[in-house]
Structure formats: C-alpha cells, structure tokens
Amino acid sequence: MAPHRLTSALLTSLLATILTAGTTDAALLDVPSPKNYVRRALARATVLNNHVYIEGGQITQYEDGFSSIRGRVENQVNSTLSIPLNESWKSESVTIKATPKPFESLARNRWYLWTDTKNGVFYAWGGYWPFGLEMVTDEVYKFTADSRGGGEWGVETLPNGLRLDQISPGEAGAVTSTGTMGIVIGGQATPWTQLGRDNTRQLSGMITFDFESKALMNGTQKFSPFGDTPVVGASAEFISGVGENGIVVVMGGHVGRTDKEVPLGEMDFFDMRNVTFLRSLTACGSIGRNRTTDWCTKTLTFSACPDFALDKTSQHHQAGRAGCLTTHASRWATDKVLSVGGRGREDEIQIRDAIPQGLLLFDMTATEWKLEYDSNAAAYESANAIKDWYKKR
C-alpha cells in the first residue's frame, strides 16, 4: 500500500472512531450504566414469562458519572426494559435488557398495563405522552413477550364493546388485572392523555377490558364501586385466592369532581381506613357476556392500624419516593415486591437516586427493603410481627 493511501486509510478509520465515539458519547440511553444512572420516573412494571418488564417513563442520566446531566434533564424512554427473575442479582449490577420499540408513539408515562399472564401478553392503554409531544390517535397496544426478556409490539383490534372514541383515555386511574380482564378505576383525562383534548377532567367509573373478547366497557352507571365519584390516584390490587373469582382491593386516592377542573392539591383524600373490595360474580371471559350487573362491591372501614404497618416506614427514608404517582411496585409472588424508580419532590429528578438503578426490593417475610434479589429464596411465610398481631387478637 502506498504511504499516502495508508495515511488516508488510517485517517478514515480514525475519523470513523472519533465520529462513532462522538455519537455514542452524545447519545442518550434508555439504560445508562449504573454509575451514570440518576433517576427513572413515571414508569410502570409487570411480570411475564419470568421477567419483570419496565415500561415507559423518563430517565435522567449523567455523562461523566457524577455531575454533568446529559441531554434534556428528563428524557422519554424509548425501549421496553426487562430484568430476569430466574437468576439472582444485585440492584447495583443487574443488566437491564432494552428492546427498542417499533414506533415512537409507544413512549408513554404512567400508562395503564393490563397483564394477561396466561398468554404471556400485556396490553397498554392510557397514560400520557411525555411533554405532550408527538401525540397520536388513541389505541390499545399489545406486547407479546418471548422467553428471553424481549417481545413484540402490535396494535390490538377491538371488534366488541365500545369503540376507543367513545371513552376518554386518562392517567392516574387505579389499575389491575384479574387474569381474564384489565380494570381501570377513575383517573383523569388531560390535554396530554388524548390527542385534540383541550381540558382536564376527572373520570368517574370503571373501565374493563376483556382479554378474550377484547371488549372495552365503561361501567360508570352499572358496576363502578364509586358510582359517579371520580377517584384519582388510587391503587387497585387483584387477589386471586379469595372466593371463586378473586377480589379487587381499592385503596387511597383523591375525591375528584366531574363538573369542573380541580387541581389535585385541592381535592380531598379518600380515607385510607376505608378499603373497597370489588368482586366479579360470574366466571369471566366468555365472549359477548353482558357483564353490566356482574359486580358487587363493599367498603370496609378499618379502625385499628397494626403496629407492624407503621414501624418500618422510616427505613430507606433518604430514598423516599412518591407512591403511586411516580413509582410502580410490581408484585410477582406473595413474598416479593419490586419498586422501580420514582422520586420525592419534583426537583429530585436531578438528584442521584440513593438506590442503585432505582431497583428496590421489599421482602415480605423479613419485612425489609433490600438491594438484591434471590431467585432461590424460600417460599413466603407471614412475617413474625404479623403472626404475633393475629395471635394477640
């Protein structure tokens, strides 16, 4: 090779290296290295095929491992993330797998995930577009998981029930899945939750999505546990072991209004001592079934608050994170809870999370927060404090 050709080849490869390095350096990552991780917020999580899937939300990251924030402070996450549950890991070093999404409208904050565990699928609807940008027409999306922590996105067609333009997609509803259907109770619709919407309204009632018939229903008048009262920011959890079809437990949230826009800070809270139980009376899932009268609800008021429920809350206080608004805890066995990301005050988004990669585990047997996951842990046993409490009463 002639010297000048060698030089030019070297130069080309050097330039390529510099350009690639430059690009890599400037690029934002959905999963920054643990040392560059600052905060993850507004994500949601679910469990399928022995993996935790983490969906949506925004990420803040350093570029130099300690001070310089890369890009816009918060950036929307553009991949579907996953963490394996078949092997043990530590929050500080676990590899989070990122699967890029086929279209950008799939970047969403706090969206509703309905999990059909049996079929290895979750559906995604509602939530809001980060910064209200790049909004598109409302759809119900479907993610089909593979066995390696990845999977495929698609748009679900809805042959039965209501059309999407007959309901208002919102956020901050109480979401859960019963195994045969997804549920959202309450929430609020804003200009960032629906393309073309110009006002904010709290939503009453309960939306259901049947995994088999793909029918969306709005049960405001017929089967909502709260009737016309909008519930904003509550939590719902399905418990399968109770009764024939299991029960849904609803707790917390704000009392909204349907007639005008009310800032969250001016709404009353639902009393945390009131816990609402919701039960489907018939076997779910048969196509075309009229389910409008198939629910019964009951609200119980608990006056005694067990000591064990109070005395652990100070642990990890320095890592306090907003409850249902910015953190999503995903419960995949009776004994483990994973909290993903979150923040305390709004401005904490720029302060590095004390929890490595934002992954905080709660061990329900030991009633302790942990920074590692043990895939071989023994089966769940009630914590001693809980056993004692029951023994005494």
Ligand X SMILES: *[C@@H]1O[C@H](CO)[C@@H](O)[C@H](O)[C@H]1NC(C)=O
Q: Which residues bind ligand X (CB under 6 A)?
A: 28-30, 59, 71, 75-78, 84, 86-87, 148-149, 167-168, 170, 203-205, 207, 218, 220, 270-271, 274, 290, 292-293, 299, 301
Name which of 208, 364, 216, 382 is nearest 278 in CA terms: 208
> How many CB atoms neighbour CB 328 within 10 A?
24
> How many CB atoms neighbour CB 344 within 10 A?
15
Closer by beta carbon to ligand X, 78 or else 144: 78
Q: Mapping DSSP to helix (H, G, I), strand (E, B) and coil, where does residue 378 land?
A: coil
- Is residue 179 within 8 A of residue 246, CB to CB? The reply is yes
Min separation Cβ 107 and ligand X, Å:
6
Q: Which two tokens stand for residue 388?
A: 């004692």
Min separation Cβ 105 and ligand X, Å:
11
Min separation Cβ 218 and ligand X, Å:
4
Name which of 321, 69, 42, 323 is nearest 192 in CA terms: 42
Min separation Cβ 377 and ligand X, Å:
15
Min separation Cβ 98 and ligand X, Å:
10
d(CA 244, CA 260): 40
Min separation Cβ 37 and ligand X, Å:
12
Min separation Cβ 270 and ligand X, Å:
5
- Is residue 62 within 8 A of residue 70, CB to CB? The reply is yes
Closer by beta carbon to ligand X, 148 or else 387: 148
Min separation Cβ 299 and ligand X, Å:
5
* Residue position matching structure tokens 């816990």: 275
d(CA 378, CA 146): 27
Q: Could you tell me where the beta strands, DSSP code E, fall in 158-280?
A: 174-177, 181-185, 188-189, 201-202, 206-210, 216-218, 231-232, 235-239, 247-251, 254-255, 268-269, 274-280
Min separation Cβ 178 and ligand X, Å:
18
Q: Which two tokens stand for residue 144?
A: 């089909």
Min separation Cβ 77 and ligand X, Å:
6
Give the distance from CA 154 to its chain's centroid: 19
- Is residue 357 within 8 A of residue 91, CB to CB? The reply is yes
* Residue position matching structure tokens 């130099």: 64
Following CA atoms 250, 251, 254, 260 in sequence, which dihedral angle do they give, to the nearest 10 degrees? 10
Closer by beta carbon to ligand X, 184 or else 383: 184
- N-to-C CA span, the chain: 89
Phi, psi of 195 (to 5 degrees): -60, 130
Which helix H or strand E contains 10, and what residues bound it?
helix 3-26
Helix/strand number for the chain, H first, E second: 2, 30
